[in-house]
């Protein structure tokens, strides 16, 4: 097959190839491993294919792009930039977006090679055109440009090139194209800032981070809603959180939440602001965040207690995030009866709300109730048991009824709740005492699809791996669970059949 590739390449090189030959070549290169293509590929072969892109024939362009993607994979990035720099640069101006994406993706691959990075950084026109691609109409082109520029910024020299040269002016100029493009540049800045404290300093000194924060705390409600998602991404890193704290951004967000009471348009941005604090609490310290910004936890409860499905969904998600670790669980436990009554509402929503909200409730419940074995103290086990019983008058039956409904997502969501509590002794006793429950767990016939089989298998695994399961379930049930685990999630019992003479 490799020989067929060479023959076709030789025929294509240096002349306008008929479409039939390009189709053959496209199929041939897909069938050959990239490693087998190395060695005999020349700049002449590839330049000929790039030249075939300069036609107004979508089928020919698509075929050449597909062939080039495969062939370029086989080549050393340093060789590519040294031999095909001009072709890549022309590709960035091509009217077909797939050619732009091909060129930008190659630049992204080249800058991952430390030897090839200087070649790219010494090509300011190439970088300038990639920056301009952020302003393109097609989001796929802009995303590829952001990805490549983010890779370029992984090195000190790359940061210098982007932020301490005329390219910074190009970034600012492309931002002026439209609101959408401005947010794309902010996305790039946040991505670069998240890499390291040094990267963040370059972005801060460029003035672009300050602009983002200015828009976040400005008066435009829709802009706030967009910007808070990016600032939340920045808060995922320790140096990002430190920067936001030093700039007073976290305090400003808290004050905006306080002022949301009197703002008729707060529903546009409030969900994002609350999610910001939820994420901040998990990566930092739930107790410290909730003590320093009490408005956050108060607003989460208000939203959960409201009648607005959108607000309830955000609140439930946030409670699930907050309660995903022990410290967060303890913060919620301190609110005592208020959280207990809120759990009752969440249990009701899991049973009766529209499907999407039911799923979010089930995921939050799983997160709230899960306790790693090493953290299962008597107090914490009592707490998760009391939370479980607050969800409904018969919580085990509630989730069992959800798990038997003919909706795979809900079915799996309910199984994940059982999995979350499966390693806790009180839950194992409840399961054993519920008529037919253990039989339901080991019954493979009730799982109609792969996702359901996987979810059931995770439940069985959680039970078998628990240190208390053999004692509580007894040897007979324990051995059945062990057998299920050993057989795997997709085991089908063989059924013997007898052939009957004369049967159809």
Q: What digits encode the pLDDT tens for the residues 338-397? A: 999 999 999 999 999 999 999 999 999 999 999 999 999 999 999 999 999 999 999 999
- What per-residue confidence (pLDDT) applies to 14? 53
- What per-residue confidence (pLDDT) applies to 504? 47
Do 143 and 185 contact (CB within 8 A), yes or no? no
- What per-residue confidence (pLDDT) applies to 263? 83
The yes-or-no verdict on residue 59 having pLDDT over 50 is yes
SS3 468: coil
For residues 450-461, give the mean pLDDT: 94
Spatial CB neighbours of 84, under 8 Å, sequence gap ≥ 6: 43, 46, 47, 50, 106
- ∠ CA 378-381-385, rounded to 5°: 140
User: What is the distance between the alpha carbons of residues 2 and 9, in angstroms, rounded to a whole number?
Assistant: 11
Do 453 and 489 contact (CB within 8 A), yes or no? yes
Do 169 and 185 contact (CB within 8 A), yes or no? no
SS3 217: coil
Do 462 and 422 contact (CB within 8 A), yes or no? yes
User: What is the distance between the alpha carbons of residues 360 and 366, in angstroms, rounded to a whole number?
Assistant: 10
The yes-or-no verdict on residue 28 having pLDDT over 90 is no
Q: 179 is written with which tokens?
A: 């609101």
- What per-residue confidence (pLDDT) applies to 458? 96
CA dihedral 275, 279, 280, 282 (to 10 degrees): 140
Burial 14-48 (b: 16+ CB within 10 A, else e): eeebeeeebebbbbbbeebeeeebeeebeeebbbb
- What per-residue confidence (pLDDT) applies to 39? 67
Q: Which one has a higher pLDDT value, 501 or 23?
A: 23
Ranking 10-14, 34-38, 328-332 by mean pLDDT, the lowest is 10-14
Do 463 and 422 contact (CB within 8 A), yes or no? yes
Query: How large a percentage of the chain has pLDDT more than 70?
Result: 94
- What per-residue confidence (pLDDT) applies to 221? 84
Q: 499 is written with which tokens?
A: 């052939």
Q: What digits encode the pLDDT tens for the residues 85-138? A: 999 999 999 999 999 999 999 998 998 888 888 888 888 899 999 999 999 888
User: How many CA within 13 A on the CB side of residue 348?
Assistant: 10
Q: What digits encode the pLDDT tens for the residues 158-198? A: 999 999 889 999 999 999 999 999 999 999 999 999 999 99
Do 275 and 230 contact (CB within 8 A), yes or no? no
- ∠ CA 489-490-493, rounded to 5°: 115
Among residues 290, 260, 263, 291, the alpha carbon closest in space to that of 277 is found at: 290
The yes-or-no verdict on residue 265 having pLDDT over 50 is yes
- At 500, the pLDDT band (50, 70, 90 cuts) reads low
DSSP letters of 340-359? HHHHHHHHHHHHHS-HHHHH
């Amino acid at each position: 097959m490799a020989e067929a590739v060479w023959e076709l390449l030789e025929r294509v090189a240096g002349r306008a190839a008929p479409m039939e030959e390009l189709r053959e070549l496209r199929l041939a290169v897909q069938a050959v491993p990239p490693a087998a293509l190395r060695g005999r590929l020349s700049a002449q072969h590839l330049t000929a294919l790039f030249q075939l892109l300069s036609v107004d024939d979508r089928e020919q362009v698509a075929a050449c792009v597909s062939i080039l993607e495969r062939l370029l994979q086989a080549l050393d990035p340093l060789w590519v930039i040294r031999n095909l720099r001009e072709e890549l640069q022309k590709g960035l101006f091509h009217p077909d977006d797939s050619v732009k994406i091909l060129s930008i993706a190659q630049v992204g691959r080249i800058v991952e090679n430390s030897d090839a990075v200087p070649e790219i950084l010494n090509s300011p026109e190439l970088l300038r055109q990639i920056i301009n691609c952020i302003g393109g109409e097609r989001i796929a082109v802009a995303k590829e440009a952001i990805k490549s520029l983010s890779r370029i910024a992984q090195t000190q020299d790359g940061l210098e090139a982007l932020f301490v040269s005329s390219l910074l002016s190009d970034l600012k100029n492309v931002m002026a194209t439209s609101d959408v493009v401005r947010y794309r540049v902010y996305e790039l800045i946040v991505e670069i800032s998240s890499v390291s404290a040094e990267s963040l300093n370059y972005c801060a000194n460029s003035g672009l981070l300050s602009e983002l924060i200015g828009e976040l705390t400005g008066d435009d409600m829709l802009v706030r809603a967009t910007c808070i998602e990016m600032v939340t991404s920045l808060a995922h890193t320790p140096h990002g959180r430190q920067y936001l704290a030093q700039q007073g951004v976290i305090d400003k967000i808290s004050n905006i939440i306080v002022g949301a009471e009197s703002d008729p348009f707060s529903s546009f941005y409030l969900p994002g602001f609350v999610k910001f604090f939820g994420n901040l609490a998990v990566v930092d310290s739930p107790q410290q965040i909730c003590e320093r910004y009490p408005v956050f936890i108060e607003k989460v409860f208000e939203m959960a207690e409201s009648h607005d499905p959108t607000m309830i969904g955000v609140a439930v998600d946030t409670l699930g995030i907050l309660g995903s670790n022990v410290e967060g669980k303890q913060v919620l436990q301190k609110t005592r009866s208020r959280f207990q009554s809120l759990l009752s509402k969440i249990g009701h929503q899991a049973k009766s709300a529209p499907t999407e909200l039911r799923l979010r409730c089930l995921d939050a419940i799983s997160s709230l109730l899960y306790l790693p074995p090493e953290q299962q103290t008597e107090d914490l086990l009592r707490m998760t048991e009391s939370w479980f019983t607050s969800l409904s008058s018969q919580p085990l039956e509630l989730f069992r009824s959800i798990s038997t409904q003919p909706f795979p997502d809900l079915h799996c969501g309910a199984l994940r709740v059982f999995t979350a509590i499966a390693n806790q002794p009180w839950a194992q006793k409840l399961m054993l005492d519920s008529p037919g429950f253990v039989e339901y767990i080991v019954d493979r016939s009730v799982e109609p699809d792969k996702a359901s089989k996987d979810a059931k298998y995770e439940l069985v695994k959680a039970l078998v791996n628990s240190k208390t399961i053999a004692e509580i379930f007894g040897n007979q049930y324990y051995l059945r669970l062990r057998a299920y685990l050993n057989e795997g999630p997709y085991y089908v019992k063989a059924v013997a059949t007898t052939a009957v003479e004369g049967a159809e």
